[in-house]
Each structure stands twice: as C-alpha cells, then as structure tokens.
Amino acid sequence: MKKTISTLFLISTFAFSQAQGYEIKVNIKGIKDSVCYLLRYKWDTPYIIDTAKVKKGTMVFTGKTPLEKGLYAILRQNKGFIYFDLPITENQKFAISTDTSDMYKKMVVTGSPTNEDFKEFVTVMSSRYKEAYDYEKNIKERKDPDSTKLIREKKTKIFEEVKKYQKDYLEKKPKSYISTLIRLQNDVEIPPAPKASNGRKDSIWEFNYYVQHYWDGIPLNDESTLNTNKLFYSKLKTYYEKTLVQAPDSLIKYSDWLVSQTGTNKEMFKYIVYYLTYTSESSKIMGHDAVFVHFINKYYRTGKAYWMDENQTKKIIERGDILEPLLLGKKAPEMDMIDTTGAKTIKALGMDTITNSERLTTVFTNNYSTLQKLFVPLHKVKADYTIVVFWDVDCGHCQKEIPLLKELYDKMKKEGKSVEVYSVYTHFETDKWKKFIREHKLNWINIYNGVHLVDLKTKFDIYSTPVIYLLDKDKTIKAKRISVDQIEGIIDNLSKTVPIKK
C-alpha cells in the first residue's frame, strides 16, 4: 500500500512539475561561449521569447510559465543564423544535443518523442531534396543532351517517394504535431470526380470537394497550428484569397465556418478574425467591404474582439457605420445639392463663407422656402443609369478624368443610352468651378454642397477625389470607386439582363 501511494505521489508530482513551466537543455558541439535565443514562430512573424548563456556549447532555457505549443528554433547570438527548429507541445522538459557539422543527423533527443520524430522527419526530407539537387547539378555539369528530361524524371520519382513517406507517416500518427505540419504544407488530394451530364469530368464537384476538405486533419482549435513559421498563415491566405469564390456571400459563409472551428481557443479566434477583417477591409475587389461590415457587426459590435481596446473598437464600428449604407445593392443616400444657377443665391446669402454652425442654421432656417427651390435631389434624376462623380477643380487626377468622362458621356448619349451624370464638386470656390465647367463644356448635372447639408465624408465615404459611383434607375448602387474606363463595360454587362432605354 505504501508503495502504491508513493508511486502515485511521484507521478502526480512529476505531472504538476511539468505543468508549471519549461526546461529545455541544449548542447551544440562546436559553438563558442556566447548567448543563444529561443525563437517562437507565430502567424507570419518570429519572436524571441527567451535568452540563455552558452558555456562549453551548453545552454538551458527555463521558465515558470508553460510555453505556447508550436514550432520554435534555436537562434545564434547575432540573430542571423538558426541552428535548428524544434516543436514544443505538451512535454516541455527535455534535452537535445547535436553537432554543427550536421544538426539533425547527429541530433540526440532525450525526453521528447515529438522532437525525436521531428528529427527523423527533417533528416529524411533534407536528404531526399539534397539528392535531387546533387543529381541536377551533376547532370548539368555533364551537359547531357537529355538533361531536362532526366532531371524531371528524377525529381518526379523523388517527389513520389517523399509523398509516400509523408502519407505513411500521416497514417501511422494522424494526430501528431508533425502531421499537422505536413498537412499545412500539402494540397488536398482530390479523388476521381464523377462525370457531369455532358460526359466530362465534373469540375464543380472537384471544386466543392477541394473547398470542403481543405482543412481536413488540421486542428483549428489548437494554438500550435498558429505557431508554424508562416505555414498556417500561407494556407489561410491561399484559402481565403485564391481558393474561395471571391463573392461576398461565399466569403462570409466560409469565413464564419472557419471562425467556428476555433472552438474555445482564444488565440486562434483572434488571429483568424483579425486576418479576415483586415483582408476584407484592404481588398481591392469591389464588394468586399460587405464582408468587412459583416465581421464588424458579428465580432466587434458584440464585444467578441477581446483584443481591441474601447477606442479601437469605436473607430472600427464607426467605419462600419459609414460603409454599410454604401454596400453594393443598397439604395444610394439622397443628396440635396445646389447647381450653378443656385450658387448665385447661396453667395448672396453669404452661406458660402459661413464657418459658424449656429449662424449657418439661422440663415438656412430663415431662408428655407427659397433654398428648397434650389435643391437638385439625386433621387429625382431620371435615367436608367446615373454616374455620380465626386471631384475637385484643383485635383490633378480629376483634371484628367473629368474630360474623359465627358467624352464617354457624349458617346453614350449619341448612342441613345439612358445615362446621366450627377457631378458633385466637393469644395466651395464657385467661380473657379464654373470656369472649369464652361471650358470643358460639362453639359450634365453640375452641383455642389452649397448649403452644407451633406457630410460627404461620412455619407459617401469621400476622403479623396475623384470617386465614381454607378447607380441604376432606382438609384441602387451597382458599382463604386471605379475609373472612367470601367463605366461603359459595367453598364453593358448590366444591360444584358436589364435592357436600357433608347
């Protein structure tokens, strides 16, 4: 009985000791006394998390708090050379000894089956790739006339052998950390596709299979998957930006599924949500702001983005408030603007020079009936397509784009297309504005924010010029932030389903 209690006590004490921290002893034969660093790979960036003195090739990294699980490395003092990588999982007390002449081949691991496996794996991989390199070099030096064919055949053979080795490992240890590393680096194997109704291979089935099995075997609820020297980052980037159909509905559907797979792991949740938010916000693809707004509403308004402080959260929510009414498919906000004839009245009332909001309110209220007659509302424009352009006389890019838009406008009008331009001057120097209109014969709707009713920055997200929106006859936003040379093509595509009037 005493022996049993003693044994249990020792086991529980050892387990408690393991949970309390880490101790990694490393000996590298052939290095000078100095310091070395324990490097952790996280997302797409390496971080130094511990330092150890080196004496006679030996160093010890130790700490009271367990390390995050993941892939680490031993880094030389000058930070320009990594001795070797090492995975750290549950067992965080072990020893590694090796030699600078061949780090992995001469490595001896004590107390870490994971690192023992990793050593063997890296040794096999590096030897096969070295074999391919040496063979290619030898063939090129011989200048064999069939060198390209020989090199290709050799590489194909080695690749097949490497693939088999990895497949065998996955079958033998499917849940090991090294298996995760293998899966992160390899593509999905697609089985033979059934034939479509036309008798050909069903490419849609292949695509759906690829998307549905992209993350097979990769634990998305484990932070060790995150800490893999860009492997996870690269796989996620390929998935989101190149694999999925780049339509907002599809991106939202699969992104929400991906986030749901993080379970209760806060680090994985944080990095995936951050990546998806940033990528959708910075995307150059029109319509992706709908994905960005979705993430804001689902994760930031609800307080789930725990890593954001109050000020950061407020700013991103405000950004969502600006973008949501401007998403594709939404009806454009109304604008009550003043045209060139009304500008005379505005100037006579002194509204163009008022800087005090209280004074502006007084003048506006006292003259409301007069001002109301001057308004040129956006929603009253009669056309199958309305091109809304925000521009400034002094903007160099506008000075090039506006004349191009005039050429396009005249061309489409000549063709009998029901198109109108609602041209918004974003400043208040009316004399300069009118001069530009006359010189370039801008025979469309020329208006400006004379009564200061519309905050263009928040209502139409205007922080630079020119900005072009394309609206349909119901003033629904069909395209935005497009260039002049895109307009006609977009209208033609839209007109294939909705005929324009002639």
- Please check whether residue 132 lies inside any domain of the structure: yes
Q: Which residue has the higher pLDDT, 407 or 347?
A: 407
Are 100 and 126 part of one and the same domain? no
Give 29-66 pLDDT, tens digit per residue.
999 999 999 999 999 999 999 999 999 999 999 999 99
User: pLDDT at residue 145 above 80?
Assistant: no
CB 32 within 8 A of CB 57: no
Banded model confidence at residue 148, pLDDT cuts 50, 70, 90: confident
Banded model confidence at residue 12, pLDDT cuts 50, 70, 90: very low
Give me the CATH number covering residue 86: 2.60.40.1120
Give 432-453 pLDDT, tens digit per residue.
999 999 999 999 999 999 888 8
Are 488 and 361 part of one and the same domain? yes
Stretch 189-200: mean pLDDT: 84
Q: Which of 111, 138, 168 is the last residue of a domain?
A: 111
Are 276 and 398 part of one and the same domain? no
CA geometry: angle at 340 spanning 403 and 417, to 5°? 50
Stretch 366-377: mean pLDDT: 89
Are 377 and 473 part of one and the same domain? yes
Q: Shortest CA distance to 60 belongs to which of 16, 103, 15, 93?
A: 93
Are 289 and 159 part of one and the same domain? no
User: pLDDT at residue 93 above 80?
Assistant: yes
What total of structural domains would you count in the chain? 4
Are 150 and 54 part of one and the same domain? no
- Please check whether residue 10 lies inside any domain of the structure: no
Q: Which of 305, 326, 347 is the last residue of a domain?
A: 326
- Please check whether residue 502 lies inside any domain of the structure: no
Q: Shortest CA distance to 42 belongs to which of 232, 183, 175, 220?
A: 232
Stretch 165-189: mean pLDDT: 95
- Please check whether residue 4 lies inside any domain of the structure: no
Are 446 and 308 part of one and the same domain? no
Banded model confidence at residue 9, pLDDT cuts 50, 70, 90: very low
Lowest mean pLDDT among 93-102, 273-282, 348-357, 459-468: 348-357
Across the chain, what does the average pLDDT equal? Answer: 91
User: pLDDT at residue 16 above 50?
Assistant: no
Are 365 and 320 part of one and the same domain? no
Burial of 15 (0-12, 13-18, 19+ CB in 10 A): exposed
Are 242 and 270 part of one and the same domain? yes
- Please check whether residue 59 lies inside any domain of the structure: yes
Are 71 and 145 part of one and the same domain? no
Predicted confidence at residue 139, as pLDDT, reads 76
Banded model confidence at residue 202, pLDDT cuts 50, 70, 90: confident
Structural domain span for residue 137:
122-185
- Please check whether residue 331 lies inside any domain of the structure: no
Is the pTM value of this prediction over 0.75?
A: yes
Banded model confidence at residue 19, pLDDT cuts 50, 70, 90: low
Stretch 115-122: mean pLDDT: 96
If DSSP codes are grouped into helix, strand and coil, which group holds residue 67?
Answer: coil
Q: Three-state SS across 147-173? A: HHHHHHHHHHHHHHHHHHHHHHHHHHC
- Please check whether residue 258 lies inside any domain of the structure: yes
Predicted confidence at residue 498, as pLDDT, reads 53
User: pLDDT at residue 141 above 80?
Assistant: no
Are 243 and 169 part of one and the same domain? no
User: pLDDT at residue 296 above 50?
Assistant: yes
Give me the CATH number covering residue 483: 3.40.30.10
Are 368 and 474 part of one and the same domain? yes
Q: Which of 88, 111, 134 is the last residue of a domain?
A: 111
Stretch 121-135: mean pLDDT: 88
- Please check whether residue 395 lies inside any domain of the structure: yes
Give 356-366 pLDDT, tens digit per residue.
788 888 888 88
